[in-house]
Every structure is written in structure tokens, then in C-alpha cells.
Amino acid sequence: MRSFTVDEITQIVGGMLSKFESPEITHLAPPLLSDEYTLALALGEDEIANLSKSKAKAALVPLGVQIEGLTTIEVERPRLAMMKLLNLFYVPPVVNKDIHPTAVVDPSAKLGANVCIGPNVVIGAEAVIGDNTKIIANSYIGSGVKIGTNCFFHPGVNIGDRVQIGNDVILNHGVSLGADGFSFVTENPNNIENARQDGKIKQDNSNQVIFKIPSIGSVIIGNNVEIGANTTIDRGTIENTVVGDNTKIDDLVMIGHNCRIGKGCLIVSQVGIAGSCVIGDRVVIAGQAGLADHIEIGADTIITAKAGVTKSFPEKSIIVGIPAVPRKDFIKQLKTMKDAQEIFAKFRKFEPLLKEFEEAHQEVK
């Protein structure tokens, strides 16, 4: 069990120490779950209030918070400090050394120094895997795949042929990179084409045949990218699907063929991005948002949860609603709805007078 003094922790997080006791810290927890050997993480108002009920002798708190009789480490950015501490106490998954006997590695594959290949992993022909990369059990690496250095693939990762992955990439359980794109064509205009052009569906398409368009492009993942469990990124039709450096993608995200995702983006769980979208750098897409195909989102934009994005937006937009609009327009819509309710209420109040007026006016005629 690892342990640290409060002085060591203060130095690691760059905090300011107010010391009443000097407990050895072996755990991290919220205040109500802390004991005398735990550093209580009181990052917000509720957790700070709970310190009075905690058994902890030391706490990490925001700058300016001091508790009489409790050792506190004050930090300017509590969440950043928490990240540093979690890295101290994090226990990585157990990884076998070298190549497991049940792994199948094609003779033409090239493995760098200190590469670890787990049970039942398959490495395809002419694949290249960089130094210190670790691939855990039951993963598939296709032919011609290039993987950089210091990567970590959790169990059940599937990488299609010719995919390129940069350095320091983390792929969580069940990630799929490089499956065929969802791309089809019909001999005659289909319902979608008709609806887009005419706004209605006219033809009888009961005998229509749908032809698959194969994807001959691939997927390129930049450096220092993390992709969450069961996320899928399809290969491009002709060009490559691209994810830029330092982008972080949550679980259960779907990114379609030909998309280009910028650098430093945050894409939250259950987002769906249709094919051929261009996402600028540092874009944040919140949970369950959906993006239609062939649209562009400018850099430093925020797309809020469950937004239905059907058109392109410029940089530094804040996008809200279904269909999605700029935040200021969404607020106007809400105000208009509220005003309409008030107007309707007034109308109902004076409706009897209006009827009397109409009846009197008809009698005059």
C-alpha cells in the first residue's frame, strides 16, 4: 500500500498547507467516506460542508477554505490537483510481459522494443507496433496497421486494415477503428433524395435495390488521443477519417466515414456524428448530441447535450436545441414562448368580452 505525508502531497499538487496533524495518507475519498488515513477531497460546497461530519484528518480544498482543527491543502484548481493525486494512487491493469503464447502474430509484423501482446491477440500481416505499446487480451490488429509508441489498448479492441495510430494513444474496451462506412447508393433517386429536393416523397420505391459503397480509405488517429469503450470510428470512403492530436472521446460515440475531427476536442458519451463532417479544434460536443452529414463546426464551439445539429456553425458558437440554433436565439425562443403564454392567458380572460362585442356588432348589422 502506497502512503504519502501531507507535506509530500502539498508539494505534488502545488498547494498551500495549513497543518494541525500529519497523518500518513493511503487513500483518497469524499469526506463522508474518509477515515483518518484518507485525504478527503472537498472540491465543492457540498463536500466542504460534509467535512464537519468526516473522520478525515486532512482535506484537499479550494483556495481560501480553512477549517479549524483540520489539516487542509488549498489549491487554486481543485480538479487539476485531484488529477495529479489520482495518478499517484492509480493501479494500472495487469499486463503480461512480451508476447503471450496464445497470441497470433504474423511473421511479417514488426514489433518494437518492450511491446506486450496479451492472450488471444491477433496481429495482421505487415503491422507495425511502436516501442512500449501494450495490447491486452482478445484484440485484433489488422494488416498494414501502424501503431506508435507508448500506446495502451484495453481488452477487445478491433483495428481494421491500414489504420494509423499515433503515440501515447489509449483505446478502451471494445473500441472499433476502421470498420466499413455506412455508405450506400440506389440506381434511381431514393426517398431521402426526393425529400431533400422537393420536400415530399412521390415515387413508389418498393422495388428499389440498395448498393453498398465499399470504403477504401482508412482511419488516422493523432497523438495523445483517448477513445472510450465501445466507440466506433468508420474508415473513409476514399479519403481517411481523421482524429486530431489530444482529442478525448467518451464511451459509445459513433463517428462516421470521412469525418475530420480537430485537435483538443472533447466528445461526450452517445454522440453521433454522421459522415463527412468537419469539426474544428477544441470543440466540445456534450452527451447525446447528433450531427447531420456534411456540416462544418468551427473551432472553440460548444454543442450542448441532446442538440440536433442540422447545419454548419462558425467558430466560438454555443449551440443549443432541436433543431440546434445559437444559444442567444434559443433564449429568444424561450422568451417568445413565455410571452405567448401570457398573451394567451390575457386573451382567455377577455374572450367573453370579445364574444359580446362580436354579437353586438352582428346585431347592429
- Residues serving a catalytic function are 257
Distance CA 143, CA 330 (A): 48
Omega before residue 78 within 30° of 0, cis: no
Nearest-CA neighbor of 222 among 259, 261, 254? 261
Distance CA 189, CA 198 (A): 12
Distance CA 262, CA 281 (A): 4
Which residues are CB-contacts of 342 (< 8 A; sequence separation ≥ 6)? Answer: none
Distance CA 214, CA 161 (A): 14
Cell of 27: 487513500
Distance CA 284, CA 248 (A): 10
CB hemisphere CA count around 196 (13 angstroms)? 6
For the stretch 168-189, what's the b/e string if a residue is b when 16 or more beta carbons lie within 10 angstroms of its beta carbon? bbbbbbbbbbbbebebeeeeee
Place of cell 457540498: 46
In order, the DSSP letters of 184-216 are: EEESS--HHHHHHHHSS--S--TT--EEE----
Per DSSP, 150 falls in state S
Length of the chain in terms of residues written: 365
Element (H, E) at 226: strand 226-227
Distance CA 233, CA 273 (A): 10
